[in-house]
């Protein structure tokens, strides 16, 4: 299937508008801290959420609101996670009511999300101030402002849109996301909002998203911390005019392929912008006995703090790759592992059959001097494969998180 990248982010699909503004949750008036995405019609909706036992109030409210598989509006603030606040759920519900009233919708059709500092008091006044501004400034060109409003320690906005065909109809998917720290597998490890004009039932959206994240957002790690507010939400309003996808088949497969394009692009972008990161780490794992093992081993490699530190130092300490493989909680043989490190600057084989492979340390250091480092691992114990994304561990990570609240 042909997939074409286009502009417009979450507003690229038909029937969506977005906006972002500063409402006063964040100290700096130069930083947007509240955003809204609205569908012209009520859409089918689905979501996946953090597995952290401590969850932000917006997750509880959002789960209740989309229990019927319907939503028409997403509202999200940055600067305060609305987690462990004494009145958090009340504020999340009131936010839904304010947002819905501003655009003529029911509060039960609102997806609400928050990101920022955990354990801070939360007030409704900034929402009362900012929501009317958002409603009056909704635009088909508003995706970039919306993406900017959900950033916390992110250094760049994460946004993508694509175009593809289903049943002879042109369909689109758009996405914005945020995430830089507190990122580790266990869904969803960030905030991600996806829009589509394809017609897909809520049940099939739920299945597509749940299956997809196993190979996208659950395959990235920055620092080993799983946040309290993580969610990935998708709305599909059907305005593309394709026959509704309500069962598995060719059209469903095409939609899943398009969704995977968007989520893998986004997962890679999130990992590359990890807090303090200077290098993206990609682990391509093959030769595993089954898919689940392949996923686990690839994740283990990119999650290793020791390996991440070595990549920062441009040190081809491949023993740390083998170590991370060895402590993976899965059943497989680690006796015949091959490891290749490569980048735009070249390639070096550092390990063959789980033993040292003669190589030049100088050439290896040159390979690791690039911004994107690919580690190819072959377990030679089966036919399953997987990819995971991570980043190096730098001094700046500690600096950023040492004074995060200030």
Active site (catalytic) residues: 189
Tokens representing 80 are 């305060």
Beta-strand ranges (E) seen in 102-247 are: 110-117, 158-166, 169-178, 191-196, 231-236
**What pairs with residue 114 in β-bridges?**
77
Q: How far apart are CA 139 and CA 143, in angstroms?
A: 8
* C-beta atoms surrounding 67 within 10 Å: 10
**β-sheet bridge partners, residue 234:** 46, 194
Give whole-number Cα distances, 141 to 11, 136, 255, 265, 327, in Å. 7, 14, 24, 21, 48
Please report where in the chains the tokens 């390979």 appear, as a residue.
367
Rounded CA-CA distance 4/262 in Å is: 11
**For residues 246 and 228, what is the distance between their CA atoms, to the nearest angstrom?**
32
Helix (H, G, I), strand (E, B) or coil at 79: strand
Which residue is associated with the tokens 């809520």? 202
Is there a contact between 300 and 325 (Cβ–Cβ < 8 Å)?
yes
Distance CA 221, CA 311 (A): 15
Q: How many CB atoms lie within 10 A of CB 339?
A: 23
Distance CA 309, CA 372 (A): 15
Q: Where are the alpha helices (DSSP H) in 214-357?
A: 250-272, 291-303, 305-312, 319-326
| Measured distance CA(187)–CA(175) in Å, rounded | 17
Strands 158-166 and 110-117, by their bridges, are: unpaired
Cis peptide upstream of residue 188 (ω within 30 degrees of 0): yes
**Tokens 């497989």 — which residue?**
332
Longest CA–CA span in the chain (Å) reads 68
């Amino acid at each position: 299937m042909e997939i074409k990248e286009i502009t417009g982010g979450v507003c690229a699909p038909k029937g969506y508008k977005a906006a972002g503004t500063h409402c006063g949750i964040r100290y700096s008036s130069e930083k947007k801290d509240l955003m809204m995405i609205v569908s012209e019609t009520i859409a089918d909706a689905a979501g996946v959420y953090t597995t952290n036992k401590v969850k932000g109030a917006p997750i509880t409210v959002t789960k209740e609101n989309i229990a019927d598989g319907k939503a028409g509006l997403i509202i999200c603030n940055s600067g305060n996670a609305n987690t462990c606040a004494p009145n958090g759920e009340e504020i999340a519900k009131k936010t839904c009511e304010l947002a819905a009233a501003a655009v003529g919708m029911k509060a039960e059709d609102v997806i609400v999300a928050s990101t920022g500092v955990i354990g801070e008091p939360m007030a409704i006044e900034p929402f009362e101030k900012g929501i009317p501004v958002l409603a009056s400034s909704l635009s088909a060109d508003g995706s970039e402002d919306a993406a900017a409003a959900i950033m916390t320690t992110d250094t760049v906005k994460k946004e993508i849109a694509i175009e593809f065909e289903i049943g002879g109809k042109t369909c689109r998917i758009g996405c914005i996301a945020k995430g830089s720290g507190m990122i580790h597998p266990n869904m969803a490890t960030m905030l991600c909002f996806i829009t589509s004009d394809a017609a897909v039932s809520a049940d099939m959206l739920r299945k597509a998203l749940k299956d997809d994240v196993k190979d996208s957002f659950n395959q990235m790690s920055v620092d080993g911390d799983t946040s309290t507010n993580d969610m990935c939400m998708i709305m599909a309003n059907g305005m593309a005019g394709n026959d509704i996808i309500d069962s598995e088949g060719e059209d469903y497969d095409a939609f899943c392929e398009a969704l995977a394009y968007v989520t893998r692009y986004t997962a890679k972008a999130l990992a590359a912008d990890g807090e303090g990161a200077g290098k993206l780490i990609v682990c391509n794992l093959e030769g595993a006995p089954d898919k689940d093992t392949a996923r686990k081993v690839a994740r283990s490699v990119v999650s290793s703090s020791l390996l991440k530190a070595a990549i920062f130092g441009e040190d081809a300490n491949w023993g740390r790759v083998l170590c991370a493989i060895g402590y993976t909680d899965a059943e497989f043989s680690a006796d015949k592992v091959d490891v290749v490190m490569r980048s735009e600057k070249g390639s070096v084989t550092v390990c063959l059959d789980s033993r040292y492979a003669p190589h030049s340390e100088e050439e290896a250091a040159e390979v690791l001097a690039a911004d994107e480092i690919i580690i190819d691992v072959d377990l030679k114990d089966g036919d399953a494969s997987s990819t995971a994304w991570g980043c190096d561990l730098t001094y700046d990570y500690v600096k950023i998180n040492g004074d995060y609240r200030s």
